[in-house]
Amino acid sequence: MKGRMTTHDTSTRYASYIVGFILSVFATLVAYLVVVNHIWPMETLVYIILGVAVMQLIVQSVFFLHIGQGSRWRLITFVFAIIIVLIVVVGTIWIMNNLDYNMMRMTPDQMQLYMKQHEGI
Partner 1 sequence: MKHQAEEIAVQERKTLGFWIYLMTDSVLFAGLFATFAVLRGNTFGGPSGAELFNLPFVLLETMILLVSSFTIGMALLGSARGFKKQTIFWLMITFALGAAFLTLELSEFSKLAAEGNSWQSSAFLSAYFTLVGTHGLHIAVGLLWLIVMIVRLWRFNFKKSDLGRLALFGMFWHFLDVIWIFVFSIVYLMGAA
Partner 2 sequence: MLSDWQQLIFGRLTASDFVHDPIMAGAGIGMAGALVLAMIGLTYFKKWKWLWQNWITSLDPKKIGVMYIVVAVIMLLRGLADALLLRAQQITNGSTEVLTSDHFQQIFSAHGTIMIFFVAMGLIFGIFNLIIPAQIGARDVAFPFLNSVSFWLFAAGMILINAPLIVGEFSTAGWLAYPPLSELQYSPGVGVDYWIWSLQIAGIGSLLSGINFFVTILKMRAPGMTMMKMPIFVWSALSSLSLVMFAFPILTATLGMLSLDRLMGMHFFTSGAGGNPMLYVNLIWAWGHPEVYILALPAFGIFSEIVATFSGKRLFGYKSMVVALIAITVLSFTVWLHHFFTMGAGADVNTFFGIMTMVIAIPTGVKVFNWIFTMYRGRVRFTTPMLWFMGFIVTFTLGGLTGVLMSVPAADFQFHNSLFLVAHFHNMIVGGVVFGVFAGVTYWFPKFTGFTLNERLGKYAFWLWIVGFLLAFVPLYILGFMGATRRLDHYDPSLGWQGLFIVAGVGVLLICLGVAFQVLQVIVSIKQRKENRVGSDPWNGRTLEWATASPPEEYNFAVIPTVTTRDAFWEMKKAKHHEVTPEYADIWVPKRSGVGAIIGLLSLIFGLAIIWHIIWLVVVSFIAIVVAIIMRVTSDDTEEKISAAAITKREMNRSAA
Tell me which of 99, 104, 117, 121 binds partner 2, using CB under 8 A: 99
Rounded CA-CA distance 86/79 in Å is: 11
Rounded CA-CA distance 121/82 in Å is: 48
Is residue 62 near partner 1 by the rule CB under 8 A? no
Q: Are 102 and 52 in contact (CB under 8 A)?
A: no
Q: Which is nearer to partner 1, 16 or 120 (CB)?
A: 16
Is residue 103 near partner 1 by the rule CB under 8 A? no
Terminal-residue alpha carbon distance, the chain: 83
Tell me which of 40, 80, 103, 112 binds partner 1, using CB under 8 A: 80
Dihedral over Cα of 106, 110, 114, 116: its sign: positive
Is residue 104 near partner 2 by the rule CB under 8 A? no
Rounded to 5°, the CA angle 63-22-30 comes to 115
Name the burial class of residue 16, with classes exposed (0-12), middle (13-18) and buried (19+) by CB atoms within 10 angstroms of its CB: middle
Q: Per-residue contact track with partner 1, 12 to 51, x per CB under 8 A?
A: -xx-xxx-xx--xx--x--xx--xx-----x--xx--xx-
Tell me which of 42, 96, 104, 121 binds partner 2, using CB under 8 A: 96
Phi, psi of 120 (to 5 degrees): 65, 20
Binding site for partner 1 (CB under 8 A): 1-5, 7, 9-10, 13-14, 16-18, 20-21, 24-25, 28, 31-32, 35-36, 42, 45-46, 49-50, 52-53, 56-57, 60-61, 64-65, 70-71, 73-74, 77-78, 80-82, 84-85, 88-89, 92-93, 96
